[in-house]
């Protein structure tokens, strides 16, 4: 994906919003708490402070950041692996950030009926179900991104914009 294509996607979804997948939301929350924790925390070590800055800049392009209870549960569970005393103060910040997100719910029984559920699980299936023609999906999960592409659901693979450090015009 090049910068022009990304700018088109942002323009299309600026007012509708974007769904942030679990790993990227975890990076965002950890980076907001303390960018130095990104390379220290085992769940965000694969990222850099520059990745956080890029993601934060990208997220400011949307009027609405959308999530699901499934995504938030995954992020909370992964965040729970932070060590004390960081963990307690991190979760204070987590509470503040969750209030800024637009949480959308899809009943699990309904999501489990989707044909891709057995291969992709509850969280990714809920993202697919929720996003179709409504929200841009931001992910770094190649499997999920490939599924979204096959289903003609607009999505950005964060790994494709990391190397060139996208910047909005």
Query: In 3-state terms, what secondary structure has residue 85?
Result: coil
Query: In 3-state terms, what secondary structure has residue 77?
Result: helix
pLDDT in tens, 23-72: 999 999 999 999 999 999 999 999 999 999 999 999 999 999 999 999 99
Report the distance separating Cα 41 and Cα 65, nearest Å: 24
- What pLDDT sits at residue 29? 98
Tokens of 52: 């956080």
Tokens of 169: 């015009």
- What pLDDT sits at residue 155? 96
Task: Grade residue 2 by pLDDT with cuts at 50, 70 and 90.
Answer: low
pLDDT in tens, 86-96: 999 999 999 99
Beta-bridged to residue 18, according to DSSP, are 65, 136
- What pLDDT sits at residue 169? 47
Per-residue burial over 4-32, b = 16 or more CB atoms within 10 Å of its CB, e = otherwise: eebeebbeebeebbbbbbbbbbbbbbbbe
- Residue 108 has phi, psi (to 5 degrees) of -60, -40
Q: Which CATH superfamily is domain 3-161 in?
A: 5'-nuclease (3.40.50.1010)
> Domain boundaries in the chain?
3-161
Write down the mean pLDDT value for the chain. Answer: 93
Report the distance separating Cα 145 and Cα 54, nearest Å: 19
Q: What is the 3-state secondary structure (H, E, C) of 2-56?
A: CHHHHHHHHHHHCCCCEEECHHHHHHHHHHHHCCCHHHHCCCCCCCCHHHHHHHH
The answer to whether residue 143 scores a pLDDT higher than 60 is yes
- What pLDDT sits at residue 1? 59
Query: Considering the entire predicted model, what is its pTM?
Result: 0.93
């Amino acid at each position: 994906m090049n910068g022009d294509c990304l700018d088109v996607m942002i323009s299309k979804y600026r007012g509708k919003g974007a769904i942030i997948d679990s790993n990227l939301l975890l990076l965002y929350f950890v980076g907001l708490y303390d960018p130095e924790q990104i390379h220290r925390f085992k769940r965000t070590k694969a990222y850099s402070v520059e990745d956080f800055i890029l993601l934060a800049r990208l997220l400011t392009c949307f009027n609405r950041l959308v999530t699901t209870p499934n995504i938030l549960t995954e992020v909370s569970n992964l965040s729970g692996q932070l060590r004390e005393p960081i963990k307690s103060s991190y979760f204070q910040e987590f509470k503040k950030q969750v209030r800024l997100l637009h949480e959308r719910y899809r009943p699990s029984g309904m999501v489990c009926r989707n044909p891709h559920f057995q291969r992709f699980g509850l969280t990714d299936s809920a993202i697919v179900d929720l996003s179709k023609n409504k929200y841009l999906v931001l992910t770094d999960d190649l499997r999920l991104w490939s599924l979204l592409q096959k289903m003609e659901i607009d999505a950005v693979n964060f790994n494709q914009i990391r190397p060139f450090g996208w910047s909005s015009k």
